[in-house]
Amino acid sequence: MISCHALLSVLFIPLVFSAGCGNLTQNADVQSFETKESTFNRNPGRIIFTKHGKCRMNCRSIDSMEVDEILKEGRINYAKSNISSSNPCRKKYALEGKTRDNQQVRIIFSPCKDNQTVITVIDMDTDWACDCK
């Protein structure tokens, strides 16, 4: 006759093992995303604005606080980013999100050392008249 302890062990151990295997797969997916994400600095020492970036912000009524908000909380759109360069200072990340005044924006950031440079700012819903050179 099998004891209760032995029976529980036979039934419980495979359940724990299979649940653990499922978590390993899930954690591997999360880890690969986090590894990719962790290369992007959301808390730079300084944010630098290019002349073009400042002009686009002005045309679209987007201020530096909104840029900082998208930098901290925006979603990286890898399809619109260019991160293939081996030189970290040549990579460009497209971050998307809503500003506090409800504009859906995409901001192109280029990280270098402890800085983030704002290359351009795009309002995804409105095509603003803008004369930036």
114 and 58, same structural domain? yes
Q: Taking the chain, what is the end-to-end CA distance rounded to the nearest angstrom?
A: 86
Asked if residue 130 belongs to a domain, the reply is no
pTM: 0.71
Q: Which residues contact 91 (CB under 8 A, 6 or more apart)?
A: 81, 82, 83, 84, 85, 110, 111
53 and 108, same structural domain? yes
pLDDT number for residue 33: 40
pLDDT number for residue 132: 86
Task: Please indicate whether residue 4 or residue 107 has the higher confidence score (pLDDT).
Answer: 107
92 and 70, same structural domain? yes
Asked if residue 53 belongs to a domain, the reply is yes
pLDDT-based confidence at 28, cuts 50/70/90?
very low
55 and 97, same structural domain? yes
25 and 51, same structural domain? no
The whole domain housing 25 covers 1-38
pLDDT number for residue 62: 95
Does 4 have pLDDT greater than 60?
Answer: no
The closest of 121, 116, 117 to 59, measured between CA atoms, is 121
The closest of 47, 96, 102 to 76, measured between CA atoms, is 96
pLDDT number for residue 32: 35
pLDDT number for residue 2: 56
- Name the amino acid, one letter, at 119: I
**How far apart are alpha carbons 97 and 74 in whole angstroms?**
5
**How far apart are alpha carbons 109 and 40 in whole angstroms?**
10
88 and 114, same structural domain? yes
Q: Considering its fold, how many domains does the chain have in total?
A: 2
- pLDDT (mean) for 95-115: 96
